[in-house]
Amino acid sequence: MHIVYNALKKGTGHNERDNVVQKKYEAYLSVCNKYKHEIAAIQKHIPGWMPAFNY
């Protein structure tokens, strides 16, 4: 309950959380693009594999 109260007290709304998730997703895409050759090499052995996106 204390954690929920602090989250509400700080004003952490959906917009802020959505913004954080959006920035994390953009970073994920950037890293995937940077390592696209390594990902392709892994996908030769594990078709369809993609790095996990942990938001």
For 3-46, write each residue's pLDDT tens digit: 555 555 555 567 888 999 999 999 999 999 999 999 999 999 99
Q: Is residue 52 part of a domain?
A: no
pLDDT band at 54 (very low <50, low <70, confident <90, very high): confident
Residue 51 lies in a domain: no
pLDDT at 44: 97
Buried b (16+ CB within 10 A) or exposed e, 8-43: eeeeeeeeeeeeeeeeeeeebeeeeeeeeeeeeeee
Residue 35: inside a domain: yes
Query: Does any domain span residue 50?
Result: no
Residue 39 lies in a domain: yes
pLDDT at 24: 95
Domain count, the chain: 1
Establish if 30 belongs to a structural domain.
Answer: yes
- Nearest residue to 40 (alpha-carbon basis) of 48, 52, 28: 48
pTM exceeds 0.75 for this model = no
Which residue range forms the structural domain that includes residue 14? 2-45
Query: Residue written as tokens 């892994």?
Result: 42
